[in-house]
Structure 1
Amino acid sequence: MNNGYITLPSAVIPVTREVDVLVIGGGASGIAAAIAAARGGATTMLVEQRGFLGGMGTVALVPAFCPFTDKQKPIVRGLGLQLMEQMKEACDPAFRKEYQDMLDWVPIDPEVLKRVYDNAVLESGVTPLYHTFVYDVVLSPDRKTVEGVIVVNKTGRSFISCRYIIDCTGDGDIAALAGVPFQKGGEEGELQPGSMCYLLANVDRPKFSRFLEESGDTGQLHTTVELAISEGALPEGRKSISGLAWVSDYLVGVNFGHVFGIDGTLAEDLTRGAIEGRRTAERQLQFFRKYVPGFEHAHMVASGEQLGIRETRRIEGDYILTVDDFITARSFPDDIARNAYYIDIHLANSKSDMTFNHLPPGVSHGVPYRIMLPVGIDNLWVAGRSVSSDRAVQGSLRVMPNCFSMGQAAGTAAVLALQGSTGSRGIAVAELQRRLLEQDVWLGEDRVPAEKEKEKEGNTP
């Protein structure tokens, strides 16, 4: 050991796979990217560090899908909407009946969703590889393409070779390993806090609903939470519950409170966040039992495997989406999705304020293809919350419906690049948009699939 470092001996590492498209990260963006690539005919592998897919929706038990609509119509369609509907169909009859027509804030049944995602990727022809972590990337001699990644798992170390790679880690891990520049957090390095979400069983939803009606408190329990804070039952901080998502009348998912100062790219912070998060969840459980009718006998059946992370790296891409683009509902020639979710930046500490900025109902902005293209690398896409944007817009783009959209676009773009033997910047964006429209992606009222355009023309008097 020398100055705190050791030198490892050189090693010969086996090449275990050679694929057209390699997707790293099995959250919403990775699932959609892998399915889109495989359906397009590319040999596709999806690498995930856990033993299941779903990202924050299953790993961190985020209790509900964020909105798929602009409060008037669904604007996030395609694979994301299809997968959510498949989860509904796989749930019990009472769940299907209650949520069959809902597209916003649909509760997540995490065990059902895990199986839905497994089936979806396998049926599309994706090769999944779970329990596997990316150790490093291997770049071409000119450092403009990623030739593959070194992975570590119970089998050992190995190399996966690829022609194209899609970073869906949520933290821009692959881009960072490839040397792509990035930003992280605010001007002083502050990051949005994490949250430890959990599932409570043995609760009484009808009794809770009567309490809300009789007390006049809201579904976020603002008055009740403030009372508990004033009496010392809860710490200073968030004055309401972010979400109660009722999977059934006796089972509810909870997103409540914050754990501050956690950098999701650091194992030490994730460790501290997990421990502190579980302690916070236990304190919240006691609050529910004491202060909230219907929760007197609540039992915590599961907490997130890790803290829910809202913000880490934002890569530097060919375009940086800005808050002005959001506010003015700007569209772009290379749009691959639409977004209407509000800017949602959580307080960086217990004394600061939260930031919300909503678009009017029926209004959305475009999501340009270029924000997924990291500078300097020609065969890499980044999809999900670490795309190229300013911090304010990241607070809007980061949610699961948007991640599905970006992942589907990245996977479809990789197929186009493969078919044209070109890089990520060499594809015809108009052809990408055409294929996305054929996959039921919505790009705005003025952009419809060619066959539907012909139908409209045929119906014109």
Structure 2
Amino acid sequence: MYENKAKPNDSIVHAPHENKPLEPVETVSKINSEYDVIVAGTDPEGIAAAVSAARNGLKTLLVDGNNREILGGLFTVGWLNSLDMNLDKNDKSSNKGKPLNKGIFTEWFAQVEGDSFDIHTAANAFKRLVDGEKNIDLLLKVKSMEPILQEGGDSAGSKTITGLKLVLEDGTVQEVKAKSIIDATQDADIAAAAGVPYTLGREDIGNKDSRMAVTLVFRLSNVTDDVWKNIRKAIKIEDNGKNEHGSNEQSAWGYNKLQTYQPVNEKRTKMRGLNIGRLNDDSVLINALQIFGIDGSDPASREEGIRIGKEELPHVVDYIKANFPELAGVELDGTAPELYIRETRHIQGEYRLSMIDVLENRDQWDRIAFGSYAVDIQRTKPDEWGDIITGPIQYAVPLRSIVPLKVDGLLVVGRAASFDTLPHGSARTVPVGMATAEAAGAAAKLSQTEGITFRQLSASKEAVAKLQNMLNEQGMDIKPFTIEPIAISKHKHYTGLKVALLMGLAKGGYTNKNFNLEGESNPQAMVYLIGGAKTALGQPAAMPGDPSAAVAAIPEAERSKQKLTLEQASLTIATALGMKVSPAEAQSALVSGGFLSEATVNGIDDPTALKIGETHMMLKDLAQTFGAAADPYISR
């Protein structure tokens, strides 16, 4: 029976400012040969999974292989001490709304200072959660973890994970059996080793080598209360009423002028505006230095990222001190032991969360968590900007998204769950991850009680309803919801927008206004659209041409200024397809070849000035001709 340690979080009261030492974490001296559940990883998601499993009566091994001495991972060793909150935007009882994901997340959150927190406070709160559960054995500093597999499962070609082979800190090898494994390693390390299929970075939109930048968080000292007041004043002046930057007693976000900083390592680093989180000792932690070309799933690459960051940061801090008077007295006072890694693997699960799920604020019948944070895509290389794709009100994460394909007995929680790369920009946030992890712990109990696999559980509406009842009893508040359809869904070009959005070729900002379907397009924008489609569809043989060749006759300075004609748009597509046609012949060639429909042509209001929405409809027609390659973009 689940023992709820706290009432559902109706009112969060934060701890006062008090600098407390880290409480030592005790690792178990001897582990059992078998457990009900093994949870791999001590990031917040791993702790939530282990606590949930333990409270549901399961003997649980919580194990970590990252040479950590404290709990909390990203928050406490990666020093990311500012939360991307998932708030209930329909809750009018407070200015900002209350957390959507309750349960263990809000139990922990009630013990820290606020949306930014002291890492000692956070680590001690995680420790108390684990220490409070007699069913948890905590094992740190293992040298490696490998899945133990047996052939066969409940689907064709699948295997079943039955435990982990651990190399302990002293070099001893021990095999530990378990009825269930929860992978909370952040990079799906256990799942990948077990043979779960996955995509890397932006592979699902055609670019396997592209992923969001990593960050080395750094600490600045000498940030007294007076300095903090001056920081807040400076940010308010910078914001100038736009509500794009802001601050409170614990957090600040602004200083976008820092993007003028010229990195020493200009090919590998870039500064963004400062995200600042206060500690309780007159210091702050800064999430702002972006580092590129790092594979977060590779230990050697992670070490390279830390080295690059440490070499760049003295120059960054000198620039800050010289250009911002209120920060003139700060000093660089250390860097995080671990990188903040945003994106590596995305497993393939029974369901893959899509951008349309997030855009349309969709509920799911097997909901286990909720998201509402903006789809925030950070830079993937120095010479580009990040994007806000959309700002959802609320969407559900399904149980099926943590049930991996090909391997039974395993759940994967956190940012590596079964999310497409773009919605991952929202769903990767820790409150979502902790909610999925709490659900995973409860699902382990239910699967063992019912004698069914996770895959069978995820396919059974009756079993999922039992799981949701368990979660509600635990204080998570997993209830159905309905949100009015978004306004843009009524637009006649919405189907085209969805295709562009799924390919990563449209961005709406926080309010979706930037989709601007009625805005005028231009020849250069059409080149970008078709070039992006060529990448996303992965059809080099069928699209051998360079779409930019279609604008060669237009002066470069005019390519983004001229109105886009139907003839020019058709030529751009035809050129990408490798057709040898004149501008006047391009449209008829596309229609006769099945690449452009008469309905789309007839729906264009003015052939001399195409709208953005009309180009999206042409993109949809093009995509539909590529069959299976286009299914992920057409069928959602």
Matches within 5 A, 1:105-124: 106-124=115-133
The 1:273/1:333 distance shift into structure 2, 3 A limit, reads same
In structure 1, the partner of 2:102 is 77
Shift of 1:345: 1.3
Shift of 1:375: 0.8
In structure 2, the partner of 1:364 is 394
Matches within 5 A, 1:30-109: 30-49=46-65, 50-71=68-89, 72-88=97-113, 99=114, 106-109=115-118
In structure 2, the partner of 1:374 is 404
Shift of 1:235: 5.2
Distance 2:88 2:265 in 1: 34
The 1:64/1:226 distance shift into structure 2, 3 A limit, reads closer
Shift of 1:247: 3.0
The 1:332/1:139 distance shift into structure 2, 3 A limit, reads same
Shift of 1:341: 1.1
Shift of 1:214: 5.5
SS at match of 2:45: helix
Q: Which amino acid aligns with 1:432?
A: L
Match among 229, 241, 244 for residue 206 of structure 1: 229
Does residue 411 of structure 1 match 2:441? yes
Shift of 1:367: 0.6
The 1:128/1:358 distance shift into structure 2, 3 A limit, reads same
Match among 347, 359, 362 for residue 379 of structure 2: 347
Q: Which amino acid aligns with 2:111?
A: Q
SS at match of 1:56: coil
Shift of 1:410: 0.5
Are 2:259 and 2:273, in contact at CA under 8 Å, matched by a contact in 1? no
Does residue 145 of structure 1 match 2:170? no
Distance 2:199 2:409 in 1: 21
Are 1:16 and 1:159, in contact at CA under 8 Å, matched by a contact in 2? no
Does residue 23 of structure 1 match 2:3? no
Distance 1:24 1:431 in 2: 25
Distance 2:212 2:472 in 1: 34
Are 2:256 and 2:273, in contact at CA under 8 Å, matched by a contact in 1? no
Distance 1:46 1:249 in 2: 31
The 1:79/1:351 distance shift into structure 2, 3 A limit, reads same
Distance 1:367 1:326 in 2: 9
Shift of 1:254: 0.6
Distance 2:349 2:419 in 1: 8
Q: Comparing 287-296 with 375-384, which one deviates more in the overlay? A: 287-296
Shift of 1:244: 1.0
Q: Which amino acid aligns with 2:466?
A: E
Are 2:31 and 2:137, in contact at CA under 8 Å, matched by a contact in 1? no
Are 1:233 and 1:287, in contact at CA under 8 Å, matched by a contact in 2? no
What is the number of residues matched between the two proteins? 414
Matches within 5 A, 1:230-309: 238=270, 240-248=272-280, 250-309=282-341
Using structure 1 for the length normalisation, give the TM-score: 0.84
Are 1:221 and 1:240, in contact at CA under 8 Å, matched by a contact in 2? no
Distance 1:26 1:223 in 2: 33
In structure 1, the partner of 2:625 is none
SS at match of 1:224: helix
The 1:250/1:288 distance shift into structure 2, 3 A limit, reads farther
Q: Comparing 370-379 with 126-135, which one deviates more in the overlay? A: 126-135
Does residue 155 of structure 1 match 2:170? yes
RMSD value over aligned CA atoms? 2.3
Distance 1:248 1:184 in 2: 38
Q: Comparing 163-172 with 425-434, which one deviates more in the overlay? A: 425-434
SS at match of 2:401: helix
Q: Comparing 64-73 with 328-337, which one deviates more in the overlay? A: 64-73
Are 1:57 and 1:108, in contact at CA under 8 Å, matched by a contact in 2? no
The 1:170/1:212 distance shift into structure 2, 3 A limit, reads closer
The 1:233/1:250 distance shift into structure 2, 3 A limit, reads farther
- Listed one character per residue, the Cα deviations across residues 91-148 of structure 1 (whole Å, up to 9, x for unaligned) are xxxxxxxx4xxxxxx1121122111111111202211111124332110233622111
Q: Which amino acid aligns with 1:224?
A: K
Distance 1:163 1:354 in 2: 42
Does residue 127 of structure 1 match 2:162? no
Match among 461, 472, 478 for residue 437 of structure 1: 472
- Listed one character per residue, the Cα deviations across residues 263-284 of structure 1 (whole Å, up to 9, x for unaligned) are 1111221111010122233222
Q: Which amino acid aligns with 1:211?
A: A
Shift of 1:300: 3.1
Match among 217, 225, 235 for residue 258 of structure 2: 225
Are 1:263 and 1:269, in contact at CA under 8 Å, matched by a contact in 2? yes
Match among 139, 146, 154 for residue 136 of structure 1: 146
Shift of 1:347: 1.2
SS at match of 2:214: coil
- Listed one character per residue, the Cα deviations across residues 380-413 of structure 1 (whole Å, up to 9, x for unaligned) are 0000111112110111111111111110010110
Are 1:338 and 1:444, in contact at CA under 8 Å, matched by a contact in 2? no
Shift of 1:374: 0.6
Shift of 1:76: 1.4
Q: Which amino acid aligns with 1:177?
A: A
Distance 1:55 1:437 in 2: 27
Q: Which amino acid aligns with 1:137?
A: P
Match among 451, 465, 472 for residue 421 of structure 1: 451
Distance 1:354 1:70 in 2: 25
Consecutive unaligned residues of structure 1, counting only runs of 5 or more, are: 1-13, 89-98, 100-105, 448-461
Distance 2:165 2:480 in 1: 44
Moved segments of 4+, more than 6 Å: none
SS at match of 2:388: strand
Distance 2:280 2:327 in 1: 14
Distance 2:264 2:328 in 1: 15
Are 1:39 and 1:124, in contact at CA under 8 Å, matched by a contact in 2? yes
Shift of 1:226: 4.2
In structure 2, the partner of 1:11 is none
The 1:303/1:223 distance shift into structure 2, 3 A limit, reads closer
Q: Which amino acid aligns with 2:324?
A: V
Distance 1:135 1:210 in 2: 49
Q: Which amino acid aligns with 1:52?
A: I
Q: Which amino acid aligns with 1:149?
A: L
Structure number with larger C-alpha Rg? 2
Are 1:315 and 1:388, in contact at CA under 8 Å, matched by a contact in 2? yes
In structure 1, the partner of 2:632 is none
Q: Comparing 153-162 with 381-390, which one deviates more in the overlay? A: 153-162
Are 2:42 and 2:72, in contact at CA under 8 Å, matched by a contact in 1? yes
SS at match of 1:82: helix
In structure 2, the partner of 1:387 is 417
Consecutive unaligned residues of structure 2, counting only runs of 5 or more, are: 1-29, 90-96, 153-157, 247-252, 458-462, 483-636
Distance 2:481 2:466 in 1: 16
Are 2:143 and 2:169, in contact at CA under 8 Å, matched by a contact in 1? no
